[in-house]
């Protein structure tokens, strides 16, 4: 099971936004601080905090909370 | 937020295993909540994407009590970055040129046979660009330029490949450009890479996707060493290494094992570990660090080891002060500070005993302590940390000669006891002072002295080399420096005065001396010459200023003693003024002054 609270807090910490403001609609399009540099930071942090490795082909597509949640949930499940 | 939160954030900062997110959170939190942080700004310029480095620079700055604001330059625009940073008044400039990205996949292109002429042209263009950028960076007090390194391993273990050959040429070019651009210094990126390991240092994924080549372990190490290379952004300057003896300089306890029984053989374990450590300490002494003993032993035992043990690398002549007694170590460290005229915060103390170290930490917390690890094979790593504290910020040639001078002072102290009066004694020293005006050759030492002198320092104004050069070149300012010599030898360049002419007043902007030459009247002897220069410039009065700092009580009444009349007093500051005529007669008649004028 994916710990959504933890995922939100990771995203909030990296993007330096309020944890409560992270929801299904949060995306690169509506968070000002979410640029390509922060995007790399986000991937790094998710990999470290969830002990997963985000495949290259997925990394660039993780542009919203909804997408991140889907992919990370899969990765965590695969890890067993 | 509670102090508990701060303590745990601090612990995370110091924890090498902390994750990226933990570091990010702790840094952001502490920068907001810690009290008493020193604010420093750093400009970062590179031809690759290094934004993430900012976090790790800030991490290691915070560990030293510094809130570092990192300003990141544009992509591959060192000249423009320098201009922006100079305007913004940054304190430190860190340039990280990345070899493999000088041209797309540069290493692969070289291997593929890129034309020698193209490579040479690239090298020349780069040299010119850096020469201009670094010349423009003169106003920035500290400039570090990362040396080139390779990004991809060589496939040829049997001989250097073409990439190595070209890399070496480029490294030499960059080293030359940096050497010309004093006070810029080369930053040892290849050394960091060797420590981190190429495969751990380079993030192949982000390098390919976003030209962000450095992985977190590499960024962290760059951050750590930048702090070291800047003496934690100017927060420390260590001068003295005080050493325990038993189980620190040698294995065993000399009082029990006797001179023959202590472990110090260069050929056998564990003696070889101690022997190596002593060689490293001698290396520090050679670089200008003052070595002292601070140890609980019978003096005769230790003196016997120093004079008679065949394998002892350190001898008495390497030790400026030997405190060998049964007193508290904190008492002895205080005495060392007093005798050498240095602050306790410039002393590093090494001992194997937790008990002694705790005592020192509680009694004299300003002293930095290190412990010989109980796992003895880790001792060289501790010695490495100590070396970095003393050496990573750079060594000037004058500093290396300094230890010799402290020893001369100690010899002079011994002579002092033989004379009936202080004046007889001082006269017997045959003191000579060479006074120089705007001596450009001494800029490095002059600047260093303004950075280091705390006690005999009237205004505690710190000058970078660039600022000293500017003052020397200026029409209305002069920089005086003085070199003191007595019959025991030269004390080197040990005094600096900066004056500014304004209408009919010559104002003393800075006056400071190394504490190792004070108490002999030198500080009062030079003023007739400064006054004469000022009179020639049309001045009629001299104004002095005392700005109080935490450490300069020593010179609180300096201008009173020089004969100046108090003018204005305000919080922490006093000004004095006097007609130049009152300075005409040389005080301290026993000193012979050489001044070309």
- B320 CA: distance to closest CA in chain A (Å): 51
- Whether residue B355 is found in the same domain as residue B456: no
Task: Tell me whether residues B20 and A41 touch, CB distance under 8 A.
Answer: yes
d(CA B524, CA B511): 11
The answer to whether residue B357 sits within a structural domain is yes
CATH number for the domain that contains residue B377: 3.40.50.1000
- A40 CA: distance to closest CA in chain B (Å): 8
The answer to whether residue B401 sits within a structural domain is no
Task: Tell me whether residues B51 and A37 touch, CB distance under 8 A.
Answer: yes
- Whether residue B250 is found in the same domain as residue B157: no
Task: Tell me whether residues B21 and A45 touch, CB distance under 8 A.
Answer: yes
- What are the strands, taking DSSP E only, across B318-388? 319-324, 347-351, 368-371
Task: Tell me whether residues A44 and B49 touch, CB distance under 8 A.
Answer: no
Q: Could you tell me the strand order of the sheet in which B489-502 lies? A: B565-570, B573-579, B541-547, B505-513, B489-502, B477-486, B432-437, B592-595
d(CA B314, CA B305): 10
Nearest CB to B24: which of A13, A37, A60?
A13
The answer to whether residue B12 sits within a structural domain is no
* Domain ranges, residue B328: 240-395
Question: For residue B322, what pLDDT is reported?
Answer: 96
Chains A and B form CB pairs within 8 A to the count of: 37
- B29 CA: distance to closest CA in chain A (Å): 11
Question: For residue B403, what pLDDT is reported?
Answer: 63
* Structural domain ending residue among the three candidates B189, B209, B234: B234
Nearest CB to B210: which of A10, A40, A49?
A40
Q: What percent of chain A has pLDDT over 90?
A: 75
- A7 CA: distance to closest CA in chain B (Å): 12
> Which residue on chain B is closest to A42 by alpha carbon?
B21
The answer to whether residue B4 sits within a structural domain is no
- Whether residue B219 is found in the same domain as residue B309: no
- Whether residue B422 is found in the same domain as residue B388: no
| Joined tokens for residue A2 | 């994916």
Q: How many CA atoms lie within 13 A of B596 on its CB side?
A: 7
Burial of B549 (0-12, 13-18, 19+ CB in 10 A): middle
Angle at B542 between CA B540 and CA B543, to 5 degrees: 140
Question: For residue B554, what pLDDT is reported?
Answer: 79
- Whether residue B133 is found in the same domain as residue B259: no
**Contact call for residues B509 and B499 (beta carbons, < 8 A):** yes
Angle at B370 between CA B368 and CA B374, to 5 degrees: 165
Q: What are phi and psi of B547, to 5 degrees?
A: -110, 115
- Whether residue B359 is found in the same domain as residue B506: no
Q: Output Rg (C-alpha) for chain B, integer angstroms.
A: 27
| H or E element at residue B125 | helix B116-136
Predicted confidence (pLDDT) per residue in B388-443, tens digit: 999 988 765 555 566 666 667 666 666 665 555 666 777 777 889 999 999 988 89
**Contact call for residues B577 and B542 (beta carbons, < 8 A):** yes
* Residue ranges covered by each domain of chain A: 4-79
Angle at A69 between CA A64 and CA A74, to 5 degrees: 135
Nearest CB to B20: which of A16, A48, A59?
A48
- Residue by residue, pLDDT tens for chain B (597 residues) are 467 899 999 999 999 999 999 999 999 999 999 999 999 999 999 999 999 999 999 999 999 999 999 999 998 999 999 999 999 999 999 999 999 999 999 999 999 999 999 999 999 999 999 999 999 999 999 999 999 999 999 988 888 999 999 999 999 999 999 999 877 999 999 999 999 999 999 999 999 988 999 999 999 999 999 999 999 998 888 999 999 999 999 999 998 888 989 999 999 999 999 999 999 999 999 998 999 999 999 899 999 999 999 999 999 999 999 999 988 999 999 999 999 988 999 999 999 999 899 999 999 999 999 999 999 999 999 999 999 999 988 765 555 566 666 667 666 666 665 555 666 777 777 889 999 999 988 898 899 899 888 888 999 999 999 999 999 999 999 999 999 888 777 778 989 999 999 999 999 999 999 866 777 788 999 999 999 999 999 999 999 999 998 778 878 999 998 999 999 998 889 999 999 999 988 888 888 999 987
Q: Is B430 helix (H, G, I), strand (E, B) or coil?
A: coil
| Joined tokens for residue B255 | 């009082």
Nearest CB to A10: which of B21, B205, B216?
B21
- B23 CA: distance to closest CA in chain A (Å): 11
Nearest CB to B21: which of A37, A49, A60?
A49
CATH code of domain A4-79? 1.10.1200.10
* Structural domain ending residue among the three candidates B219, B234, B249: B234
Cα-based distances in Å from B493 to B319, B439, B512: 23, 11, 11
The answer to whether residue B542 sits within a structural domain is yes
Q: What are phi and psi of B260, to 5 degrees?
A: -70, -25
Nearest CB to A40: which of B25, B28, B206?
B206
d(CA B511, CA B496): 6
Q: How many CA atoms lie within 13 A of B366 on its CB side?
A: 14
* Structural domain ending residue among the three candidates B189, B217, B234: B234
The answer to whether residue B266 sits within a structural domain is yes
B270 preceded by cis ω (within 30°)?
A: yes
Burial of B47 (0-12, 13-18, 19+ CB in 10 A): buried
B18 preceded by cis ω (within 30°)?
A: no
Domain count, chain B: 3
The answer to whether residue B509 sits within a structural domain is yes
* Residue of B93, B30, B25 whose CA lies nearest to B61: B30
- B212 contact residues in A (CB cutoff 8 A): 37, 40
- Whether residue B191 is found in the same domain as residue B267: no
Q: What is the ipTM of this complex?
A: 0.91
> Which residue on chain A is closest to B26 by alpha carbon?
A13
CATH number for the domain that contains residue B84: 3.40.50.1110
- Whether residue B109 is found in the same domain as residue B248: no
Q: Which residues of chain B have a Cβ shorter than 8 Å from any chain A Cβ?
A: 19-21, 24-25, 28, 49, 51-52, 205-206, 209-210, 212, 216
d(CA B246, CA B252): 6
Task: Tell me whether residues B20 and A16 touch, CB distance under 8 A.
Answer: no
Task: Tell me whether residues B49 and A37 touch, CB distance under 8 A.
Answer: yes
Task: Tell me whether residues B52 and A45 touch, CB distance under 8 A.
Answer: no
The answer to whether residue B141 sits within a structural domain is yes
What is residue B289's DSSP assignment? Answer: P
Predicted confidence (pLDDT) per residue in B531-575, tens digit: 999 999 999 999 999 999 877 887 899 999 899 999 999 888 999
Task: Tell me whether residues A44 and B24 touch, CB distance under 8 A.
Answer: no
Task: Tell me whether residues A49 and B205 touch, CB distance under 8 A.
Answer: no
Nearest CB to B25: which of A13, A37, A40?
A13
- A7 contact residues in B (CB cutoff 8 A): none
Q: Is B494 helix (H, G, I), strand (E, B) or coil?
A: strand
- Whether residue B265 is found in the same domain as residue B196: no
- Whether residue B367 is found in the same domain as residue B349: yes
Question: For residue B1, what pLDDT is reported?
Answer: 47
Pairing of strands B477-486, B432-437: antiparallel
- Whether residue B248 is found in the same domain as residue B230: no
- A44 contact residues in B (CB cutoff 8 A): 20, 216
- B198 CA: distance to closest CA in chain A (Å): 19
> Which residue on chain A is closest to B207 by alpha carbon?
A40
- B25 contact residues in A (CB cutoff 8 A): 13
Q: Which residues of chain A have a Cβ shorter than 8 Å from any chain B Cβ?
A: 10, 13-14, 16, 36-37, 40-41, 44-45, 48-49, 56, 59-60
| Joined tokens for residue B167 | 């890399």
> Which residue on chain A is closest to B49 by alpha carbon?
A37
d(CA B467, CA B431): 31
What is residue B33's DSSP assignment? Answer: H
Task: Tell me whether residues A48 and B21 touch, CB distance under 8 A.
Answer: yes
Q: Is B233 helix (H, G, I), strand (E, B) or coil?
A: helix
Cα-based distances in Å from A65 to A16, A20, A48: 15, 13, 18
Q: What are phi and psi of B73, to 5 degrees?
A: -80, -175
Q: Is B52 helix (H, G, I), strand (E, B) or coil?
A: coil
Query: From the candidates A34, A37, A38, which should be mutated to test the interface with B, based on the most B CB atoms within 10 A?
Result: A37
- A48 CA: distance to closest CA in chain B (Å): 7
- Whether residue B304 is found in the same domain as residue B369: yes
């Amino acid at each position: 099971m994916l710990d959504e609270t933890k995922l939100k807090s990771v995203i909030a910490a990296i993007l330096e936004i309020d944890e409560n403001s992270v929801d299904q609609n949060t995306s690169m399009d509506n968070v000002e601080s979410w640029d390509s540099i922060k995007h790399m930071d986000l991937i790094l942090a998710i990999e470290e905090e969830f002990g997963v490795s985000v495949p290259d082909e997925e990394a660039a597509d993780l542009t919203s909370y909804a997408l991140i949640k889907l992919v990370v949930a899969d990765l965590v499940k695969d890890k067993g | 937020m509670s102090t508990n939160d701060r303590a745990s954030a601090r612990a995370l900062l110091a924890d090498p295993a902390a994750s990226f997110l933990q570091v990010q959170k702790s840094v952001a939190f502490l920068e907001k909540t810690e009290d008493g942080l020193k604010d420093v700004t750093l400009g970062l310029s590179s031809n690759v994407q290094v934004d993430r480095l900012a976090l790790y620079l800030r991490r290691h700055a915070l560990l030293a009590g510094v809130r570092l604001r990192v300003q990141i330059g544009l992509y591959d625009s060192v000249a423009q970055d320098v201009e922006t940073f100079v305007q913004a008044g940054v304190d430190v400039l860190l340039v990280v040129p990345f070899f493999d990205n000088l041209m797309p996949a540069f290493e692969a292109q070289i291997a593929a046979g890129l034309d020698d002429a193209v490579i040479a042209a690239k090298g020349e263009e780069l040299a010119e660009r850096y020469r201009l950028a670094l010349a423009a960076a003169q106003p920035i007090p500290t400039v570090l330029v990362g040396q080139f390194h390779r990004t991809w391993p060589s496939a040829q273990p049997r001989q250097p490949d073409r990439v190595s050959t070209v890399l070496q040429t480029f490294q030499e070019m960059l080293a030359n450009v940096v050497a010309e651009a004093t006070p810029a210094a080369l930053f040892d990126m290849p050394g960091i890479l060797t420590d981190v390991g190429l495969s751990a240092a380079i993030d192949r994924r982000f390098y390919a996707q976003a030209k962000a080549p450095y992985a977190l372990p590499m960024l962290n190490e760059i951050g750590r060493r930048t702090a070291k290379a800047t003496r934690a952004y100017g927060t420390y300057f260590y001068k003295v290494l005080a050493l325990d003896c038993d189980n620190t300089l040698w294995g065993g306890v000399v009082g029990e094992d006797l001179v023959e029984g202590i472990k110090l053989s260069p050929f056998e374990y564990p003696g070889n570990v101690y022997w190596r450590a002593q060689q490293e300490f001698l290396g520090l002494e050679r670089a200008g660090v003052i070595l002292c003993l601070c140890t609980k032993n019978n003096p005769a035992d230790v003196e016997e080891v120093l004079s008679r043990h065949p394998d002892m690398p350190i001898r008495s002549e390497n030790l400026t002060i030997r405190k060998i007694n049964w007193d508290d170590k904190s008492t002895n460290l205080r005495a060392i500070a007093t005798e050498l005229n240095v602050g306790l915060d410039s002393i590093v103390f090494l001992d194997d005993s937790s008990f002694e170290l705790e005592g020192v930490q509680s009694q004299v917390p300003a002293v930095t302590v290190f412990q010989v690890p109980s796992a003895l094979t880790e001792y060289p790593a501790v010695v490495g940390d100590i070396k970095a504290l003393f050496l990573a910020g750079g060594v000037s040639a004058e500093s290396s000669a300094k230890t010799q001078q402290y020893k001369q002072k100690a010899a002079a102290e011994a002579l002092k006891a033989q004379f009936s009066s202080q004046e007889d004694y001082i006269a017997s020293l045959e003191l000579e002072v060479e006074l120089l005006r705007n001596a450009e050759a001494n800029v490095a030492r002059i600047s260093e002295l303004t950075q280091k002198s705390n006690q005999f320092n009237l205004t505690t104004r710190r000058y970078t080399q660039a600022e000293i050069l500017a003052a020397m070149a200026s029409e209305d300012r002069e920089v005086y420096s003085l070199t003191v010599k007595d019959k025991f030898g030269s004390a080197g360049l040990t005094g600096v005065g900066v004056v500014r002419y304004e209408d009919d007043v010559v104002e003393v902007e800075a006056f400071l001396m190394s504490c190792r030459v004070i108490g002999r009247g030198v500080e009062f002897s030079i003023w007739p010459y400064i006054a004469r220069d000022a009179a020639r410039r049309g001045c009629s009065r001299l104004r002095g200023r005392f700005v109080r700092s935490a450490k300069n009580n020593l010179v609180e009444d300096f201008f009173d003693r020089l004969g100046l009349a108090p003018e204005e007093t305000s919080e922490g500051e006093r000004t004095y003024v006097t007609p130049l005529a009152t300075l005409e007669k040389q005080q301290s008649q026993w000193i012979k002054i050489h001044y070309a004028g």
